[in-house]
């Protein structure tokens, strides 16, 4: 059963899950008619793109350093790591 938006003659709007094809509702003595256009949906937050490869490398190293602490050992030289970090 789909979710439809219904509006009363007084302007009150409700959303209800009803069988397909339902065009009118009677609730508490008030008549509601199904709206013809779907309701608008908006999302809050911030659109974020994919980080660059350098940022992904930095994030991976940071995560490993946090997990392993002083036991963290890398197969890469200090020069390579500094280059990846942009230092």
Among left, alpha and beta (phi > 0; psi -120 to 50; other), residue 32 is beta
Confirm whether 46 is domain-assigned. no
Q: Which two tokens stand for residue 73?
A: 């050992």
- Residue 27, domain extent: 3-34
19 vs 2: CA distance, rounded Å: 7
Q: Which two tokens stand for residue 16?
A: 């209800």
pLDDT tens-place string over residues 30-70:
899 998 876 666 677 776 778 888 788 788 878 888 888 87
Confirm whether 69 is domain-assigned. yes
Give how many domains the chain has, as a whole number.
2
Confirm whether 73 is domain-assigned. yes
Q: If pLDDT is split at 50, 70 and 90, which confidence band does 82 have?
A: confident
The residues with which 26 forms a beta bridge, in sequence order, are: 31
pLDDT tens-place string over residues 4-13:
888 998 888 8
Q: Which two tokens stand for residue 87?
A: 């230092």
């Amino acid at each position: 059963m789909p979710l439809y938006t219904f509006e009363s003659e007084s302007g009150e709007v409700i959303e209800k899950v009803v069988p397909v094809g339902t065009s009118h509702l009677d609730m508490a003595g008030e008549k509601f008619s199904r709206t013809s256009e779907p309701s608008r949906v908006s999302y809050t937050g911030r659109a974020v793109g994919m980080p660059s490869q350098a940022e992904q490398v930095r994030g991976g190293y940071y995560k490993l350093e946090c997990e392993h602490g002083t036991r963290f050992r890398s197969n890469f030289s200090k020069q390579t790591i500094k280059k990846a970090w942009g230092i």
